[in-house]
């Protein structure tokens, strides 16, 4: 389980960096234009990825033992500006996303296999369940980012902007044994 979480955490970092590099190649005005997406603009979609990643890390911080949550210290004080981002806030948002992605990798690297099942308290589902295993919420973090990067990909497709992040480029996990070849 830990190997899978680490694989997706690393993928998340690569995918976010790729998306942000493409958005950086566009004019700031193009990133602010309403694209009729869930969040409106490309900039707002990136900001939503930032906001939600910080939210998930807050859940981890509140529930994991202090020694594990220490991996998230670098992101504890990150703030999200209100409204559309200006050019300086955009630079800060990109740096924040990179820091969040690295902190998530560091967190997962420091967890044992057993710790990947520790309960994370939730503030949704009307308290039912009150908590779920870490691996469930970590997967939600990764799926959420993939979903919104997919929205950005669709907008870029519609704009005719060449990009190469529509697929998922997962690294091979040699530590995982397959049922067909358990000696691998």
Q: What is the pLDDT of residues 21-44, one digit of tens each?
A: 999 999 989 999 999 988 899 999
Least confidently predicted of 105-109, 135-139, 179-183: 179-183
Number of domains in the chain: 1
92 found inside a domain: yes
Query: Shortest CA distance to 92 belongs to which of 46, 37, 39, 145?
Result: 46
CB atoms within 10 A of CB 152: 22
11 found inside a domain: yes
139 found inside a domain: yes
Phi first, then psi: give them for residue 120, nearest 5 degrees: -115, 120
Alpha helices in 64-183 (DSSP H): 66-69, 87-110, 134-159
Structural domain of 75: 2-159
170 found inside a domain: no
The CATH number given to whatever domain includes residue 47 is 1.20.120.450
Phi-psi region at 40: left, alpha or beta (left = phi > 0; alpha = psi -120 to 50): left
Model pLDDT, residue 123: 86
180 found inside a domain: no
Q: What is the pLDDT of residues 137-157, one digit of tens each?
A: 999 999 999 999 999 999 999
126 found inside a domain: yes
């Amino acid at each position: 389980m830990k190997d899978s979480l680490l694989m997706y955490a690393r993928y998340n970092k690569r995918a976010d960096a790729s998306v942000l590099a493409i958005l950086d190649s566009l004019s700031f005005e193009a990133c602010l234009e309403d694209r009729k997406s869930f969040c409106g603009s490309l900039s707002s979609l990136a900001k939503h990825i930032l906001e939600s990643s910080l939210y998930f890390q807050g859940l981890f911080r509140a529930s994991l033992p202090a020694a594990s949550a220490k991996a998230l210290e670098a992101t504890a004080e990150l703030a999200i500006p209100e409204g559309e981002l200006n050019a300086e806030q955009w630079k800060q948002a990109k740096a924040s996303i990179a820091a969040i992605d690295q902190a998530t990798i560091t967190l997962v690297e420091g967890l044992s296999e057993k710790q990947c099942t520790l309960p994370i308290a939730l503030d949704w589902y009307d308290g039912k369940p009150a908590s779920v295993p870490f691996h469930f919420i970590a997967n939600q973090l990764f799926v959420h980012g993939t979903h919104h990067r997919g929205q950005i990909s669709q907008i870029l497709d519609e704009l005719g902007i060449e990009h190469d992040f529509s697929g998922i480029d997962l690294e091979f996990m040699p530590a995982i044994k397959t049922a067909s070849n358990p000696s691998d």
